[in-house]
Chains A and B, each alone.
Chain A
Amino acid sequence: MQITTIVNGRSYTKDVEPRTLLVQYIRDVLGLTGTNVGCDTSSCGACTVLLNGESVKSCTVLAVQVNGQELTTIEGMATDSGLHPIQKAFQENHGLQCGYCTPGMVMAAASFLNENPNPTEREVREALEGNLCRCTGYHNIIKSVLAAANAMEGAM
């Protein structure tokens, strides 16, 4: 089946089997391998991307379901002028160690900060409850998202 999607601002038209998962489409068909697969059972959030601006677990969506819609992956966050403020905040606050969960964390954080630009620490923790990290103990991830919220507020 032929589908057209806008990914990180660019339009792609591709032929996919209906059973192709969105994450396979992103990684294997489009070659955007920044999005990771962790659990493959919708629990870990490593595969989180934005669908029309909202976070979804791309291992649990069919590619054919997003025909005609807009996606943002981690590759779409940085611009020519540098890293996205959320990425910068993760870098500055040591919000990652091995980095496997990081693309998903950044996308989940982007979706959340879009909805709630001025969160409390508790709200950040709840917003990231669907994203697992095996390295950091979460502390610096929370710090990073709060720092990003501050930086993005300042920029507006």
Chain B
Amino acid sequence: MFPASFDFFKASSVADAVSILSREDDAKLLAGGHSLLPLMKLRLASPAVLVDISALEELAFVEDKGDYVAVGALTRHHDVANSELLKSAVPILPFVASKVGDPSVRHRGTIGGSIAHGDGASDLPAAILALDSDLVAVGPDGERVIQAKDFFLGFLETALRPNEILTEIRVPKFSGGWSYQKFNRRAQDWAIVGVAAVHNGSTKISLVNMASTPIRASAVEAALADGASVEVASGVASEGLEPPSDLNASADYRRHLAQVLVKRALTEALG
């Protein structure tokens, strides 16, 4: 299988990428290609133009910014997983990155690509959401900051405009408990359901593969804020949610799994 034909541009800088995106019709950014190329090979996507940003070194970094850690959008899963700074300042993030796919996938896939793709079944977007991160996007009119809670709009749909590029993820540091529960049945598989929990004063929980986007378990968060026990709070994990049914699991099974995994996550994060 190979993709339909397209025109190929290698961006020399963020500004160059933005200007190509603004100039060309039906252009898509190509980072690690580990979500986009499989879709193109199946002809589920056939953009007329690809703008390759995979070699933009300026977007591959992990930097200490005091209250938060700035992670460049082109930082590969492998480098997020192995960052000593992230391991000490935001340990949940490298842990989650180390659970994405397999080592070869992690050598190519980038955190920005994973977030910009906006798949409700992905691991990193859920972690970013539980961490209340800020996402920095650059377009023709300059830079803007989007809060993670306003970023994921629908199935593979995000707040990024067609001529914007995600450049940086600002992840707040925290020192409390955390947990990431990824449930799958075979090595290297995607999560059937996943749960990210971060406890830092309040407790924030987000869910993988329980909706068309990564989503916060707001019913659980509200119950905990009202003083509910872990037992009681995890019981409302799937309240108001419409999880997908697919070959791996029915919606009902996912609802059940969410309760079990939220309980495990809270027990670990609050323990």
Contacts and interface: CB of A to CB of B under 8 A. Distances in A.
Interface of A: 1, 17-21, 24, 40-43, 45, 48, 51, 54-57, 60-62, 64-65, 67, 108, 111-112, 126-127, 129-131
B52 A57 contact: no
Nearest to A51: B107
Contacts of B245: none
Given A56-B104, A130-B188, A24 B2 contact: yes
B244 interface: no
Contact of A42 (B4, B10, B105): B105
Contacts of A48: 104
B38 A112 contact: no
A18 B40 CA distance: 13
Interface in B11-38: 30, 33-34, 37-38
Contact of B38 (A41, A45, A65, A129): A41
B37 A62 contact: yes
Contact of B34 (A42, A54, A64, A67): A42
Contacts of B78: 54
A130 B105 contact: yes
Nearest to B186: A129
Given A42-B38, A65-B52, A57 B104 contact: yes
Contacts of B188: 43, 129-130
Interface string B86-97: 000000000000
B172 interface: no
Nearest to B187: A129
Given A65-B30, A65-B33, A129-B187, A54 B107 contact: yes
Contacts of A108: 103-104
B1 interface: yes
Contacts of B246: none
Given A43-B188, A48-B104, A129-B188, 6 more contacts: A19-B4, A42-B38, A45-B104, A111-B107, A130-B101, A130-B103
23 contacts: A18-B5, A19-B2, A20-B2, A24-B2, A42-B34, A42-B38, A42-B105, A43-B188, A45-B102, A48-B104, A54-B107, A55-B103, A57-B105, A62-B33, A62-B50, A65-B30, A65-B54, A67-B10, A108-B103, A108-B104, A129-B188, A130-B103, A130-B105
A23 B119 CA distance: 27
B6 A19 contact: yes
Contacts of A45: 102, 104
Contacts of B107: 51, 54-56, 111
A61 B187 contact: no
Interface in B32-75: 33-34, 37-38, 41, 50, 52, 54-55
Nearest to A132: B188
Contact of A61 (B2, B4, B37): B37
B38 A21 contact: no
A72 to B, nearest CB: 13
Contacts of A18: 5-8, 50
Contacts of A64: 8, 10, 52
A27 B8 CA distance: 22
Contacts of A127: 103
A74 to B, nearest CB: 15
Given A45-B104, A48-B104, A130-B101, A60 B6 contact: no
Nearest to A67: B10
Contacts of A126: 187
A32 B17 CA distance: 34
Contacts of A42: 34, 38, 105
B238 to A, nearest CB: 29
Contacts of B41: 21, 40-41
A112 B16 CA distance: 35
B183 to A, nearest CB: 16
The 5 A-B pairs with the shortest beta carbon distances in the complex, nearest first, are: A130-B102, A18-B8, A129-B187, A55-B104, A54-B107
